Amino acid sequence: MMEPVNVAIIYYSSTGTVHALAQAAVEGAEKAGATVRLRKVAETAPPEAVSARAEWAGHLEDTADVTEAGHDDLEWADAVLFGTPTRFGNPASQLRAFIDTTGPLWFQGKLADKVYSAFTASNTAHGGQESTLLALANTFYHWGGIIVPPGYTDPLQFRSGNPYGTSHVTGDGPPGEVALQAARYQARRVVDIAAFLKVGRAA
């Protein structure tokens, strides 16, 4: 790689599934030579909703040391991977709340020309996974971003099956090796394309 690539992996996870995918994406990006920031978005659900589910409260506690995402992470990054559970076929409101604060950056053109990609999880098979990733892409279009999906660019993708981005069915248990490898591969592809862009701009 000619120049190091800065990658921000910004996610929301209530019970840990998307967090596991995000960690796999960190591994993939780092292995590809990138400098990586793993960032969670703020929990906006009321405490009583969180505490009503032991696994939700537990995950919040387990990830207390993960830095919360800020605008500087987006400015710093050459590429951004967003992770979210699907909520009725859309990104979680916690991630949307963060995205909805980025107007000033967008207005200054600071979100344009970066590489963007996304991954998700749902409780049931299908469960809105594709529509969640496509909904996030609408934001990337507005930002003037360069969307890099995994597509079917690796044999692994025929096993994971989602060309839009890594996805996992939480009802089947925690992400297994195929989903984790897909997240690593997606991040590696994002880094590779971002690196090509950096080299091209420098030239």
Biggest distance spanned by C-alpha atoms of the chain = 55
Assess contact for 79 and 114: CB atoms under 8 A: yes
Q: How does the average pLDDT of the chain come out, rounded?
A: 96
- Is 1's pLDDT higher than 50? no
Spatial distance between the Cα atoms of 168 and 160, rounded to a whole number of angstroms: 9
pTM of this structure: 0.97
- Is 134's pLDDT higher than 60? yes
pLDDT digits 0-9 by tens, 60-114? 999 999 999 999 999 999 999 999 999 999 999 999 999 999 999 999 999 999 9
- Is 2's pLDDT higher than 80? no
Spatial distance between the Cα atoms of 151 and 135, rounded to a whole number of angstroms: 17
Spatial distance between the Cα atoms of 24 and 34, rounded to a whole number of angstroms: 14
Angle between helix 177-202 and 17-31 (nearest 10): 50
Length of the chain: 203
**Which two structure tokens, joined as six digits, stand for 156?**
């692994």
